[in-house]
Amino acid sequence: MLSKTVDHFDEMFDVIVVGYGFGGAVAAISAHDAGADVLLAEKMPNPGGISICSGGGLRLPYDRDATFQYLKTTNDGTTPDNILEAFIDEMIQIDSYVQELAAVNGAHINRIDRPGSYAFPGFDKMYFLEIDDIPNFDPKRDYAYANALSGGPFMFKVLQDNIAKRGITARLGVSAKRLITDKSGAVAGVWLDDGNGPKAMGARKAVILACGGFEHAPEMQRQFWQINPVFSAAFVGNTGDGIRMTTDLGADLWHMWHFHGTYGFRHPDLPFAIRTKRLPDWVPEEREAEAPMSWILVGKNGRRFMNEYDPYMQDTGHRGMDRVDPSQMGQPFVPCYMILDDDARQLYPLGQTMFNDGDYENYEWSQDNLKEVQNGLIRKADSVEEVAGMIGCSVDELDATIKNWNESCDAGVDDFGRPPKSMVPVRQAPFYLAEIWPVVSNTQGGPVHDQKRRVVNAFGEPIPRLYTAGELGGIWGSLYLSGGNLTECFVSGRISGREAAAEENRLV
């Protein structure tokens, strides 16, 4: 076992940043620009984390007070006002900051009016900022290891070029094992292992943990989530390292139950889940969903049990599956089953892959879904009776479910509140069935922090010289704001970087 205290360090830096996604990159840039000598360490062989897989848009405010009201409502008392206030004060400055960073490679900035996901006060006072073009940059060529959405690689390219321009020391394939403290309990460094054995790396000023959450840590998920199993959508590198290292020093935790997730498919050759097609979000009481959703979901009993198309289903799509039958000690909706007919099968690809991992080839979902029928991800049935046999449920139950659904489609009214324009009947044989599992895109939980992003213990006392950035202990405690995690990467990276750099040098 590695010791928490050491007599000497193998190397020394002013600030050590663990994790090279958006949050870690911004923290490293911020600390460097404040005068610190920075080491940026990433455990995986390629940088980018989950961030590079994202849509890349930053959610920013037109109006500070309105945005505060929205975040206060959607956090539902889980995040103190002073933390939200500090977050928004920094949020206001991100637009001009991205403009400065974008000058490094001539990146083009695009801004899009985009209200919040729910019609709470302040929802219409926000916008998206994204990078949509960089001269001589091809994400599929330059980041071949990342099967990403459109915007994430562009924003990461801006950050990576700024790291290179500043000459910040960045090391890949280096995993953080344990924090090192001095005799007073202040953080003095971190054990890093590049595959040749752990080395004690000293930090004269502070350590910033930007090493993500616990998307790929099933044993940790089981302690905080009822729903099980949940499969990661994009990245195997986030295994709860930062949570273990901070709780080792007495950190308090928050938001551990909350993850940004939906539902999707399992591929036997991939460690990632494949999310269902990304359909447009909609805002209750403001605008209805316009896109047709080609499927329904049924439980193991053959009955529907949820609205398959939540307003922001990439965040809450899994929540309807999160139930336990105490009489059976089982989860009746994990897995559940997607059902659609032949007309719906032809509408669009049902799945969408997204991951950052060079060890796996990209799986391209077929346009007509027939490749997935051939490889077994989707099963074909000539009758409702055959579908029921595949599920193992009562034929009568499933037949009644489908008849009721088709009547609801005709009437434009659903028992579970699904938007009328999204409702697609299940009438035309053959029918198709697929197992569906809960999917985590990213977690929100981790160590509690104060306004300066200092990690605090259960008594609210800062653990000296320890900071967080990114999704490790993020502010989102109840309902997530789309683009909010990426915004938090910039907000928290800027705050933690400059605060860490402002620490007095430790006596060594």
Buried b (16+ CB within 10 A) or exposed e, 276-286: bbebebbbeee
Alpha-carbon span 245 to 51, nearest angstrom: 22
Residues 340, 426 contacting (CB under 8 angstroms): yes
Structure tokens at 356: 């950052």
User: Is 74 strand, coil or helix?
Assistant: helix
| Inter-residue contact 410 to 420 (CB < 8 Å) | no
Distances (CA, A) of 127 to 75, 88, 97, 442: 19, 14, 16, 22
CATH code given to domain 11-213+446-501 = 3.50.50.60
pLDDT score for 391: 98
- CA–CA separation, 245 vs 182, rounded Å? 15
Structural tokens at position 161: 């070029």
User: For the chain, what is the largest distance between any 2 Cα atoms, rounded to a whole number of angstroms?
Assistant: 75
**C-alpha R_g of the chain:** 24
Q: E strands along 322-376, which residues?
A: 336-341, 351-352, 355-356
Report the alpha-carbon distance of residue 164 to residue 85 in Å, rounded. 33
Q: For the purposes of burial, counting CB atoms within 10 Å of the CB of 218, is it exposed (0-12), middle (13-18) or buried (19 or more)?
A: middle
* Helix, strand and coil percent figures for the chain, each rounded to 5: 30, 25, 45
Q: Two tokens at 404?
A: 């009721």
Rounded to an integer, what is the distance from CA 70 to the centroid of its chain? 20
Phi, psi torsion values for 156, nearest 5 degrees: -65, -35
Are 448 and 429 a contacting pair, CB within 8 Å? no
Q: In this predicted structure, what is the pLDDT of residue 404?
A: 98
Q: H/E element holding 441?
A: strand 431-443
Beta bridge partners of 462: 456
Which pLDDT score is estimated for 428?
95
CA dihedral for 8, 10, 11, 14, sign (positive or negative): negative
Helices (H) and strands (E) in the chain, counts: 14, 23
Minimal CA–CA distance to 182: which of 465, 500, 469, 499?
465
- CA distances to 47, 206, 491 from 15, rounded to whole Å, are 19, 5, 18
Phi, psi dihedral angles at 54 (to 5 degrees):
-80, 175
Per-residue pLDDT at 149: 73
Say how many CA atoms lie within 13 Å of 248 toward its Cβ.
Answer: 21
Among candidate residues 247, 239, 236, the one with its CA nearest the CA of residue 220: 239
pLDDT at 137: 97
Spans in the chain with pLDDT lower than 70: 286-287, 508
Helices (H), 308-394: 313-316, 342-345, 370-375, 384-391
Q: Are 10 and 194 in contact (CB under 8 A)?
A: no
Please give the helix or strand (H or E) that residue 85 lies within, else none.
Answer: helix 81-91
3-state class of 275 per DSSP? strand
| Tokens, residue 151 | 């915007």
* pLDDT score of 508: 61
Q: Where are the domains of the chain?
A: 11-213+446-501, 260-440
Residue 320 tokens, joined: 């309807």
Residue 506: per-residue pLDDT? 86
pTM of this structure: 0.96
Which pair of tokens denotes residue 317? Answer: 């799509």
Q: What is the pLDDT of residue 206?
A: 99
Q: Which helix (H) or strand (E) holds 177?
A: strand 175-181
CATH of domain 260-440: 3.90.700.10
Beta bridge partners of residue 442, listed in sequence order:
260
Q: Which residue has the tokens 């697609």?
A: 424
d(CA 440, CA 337): 18
Closest CA to 447 of 242, 177, 258: 242
CB of 339 within 8 A of CB of 432? Answer: yes
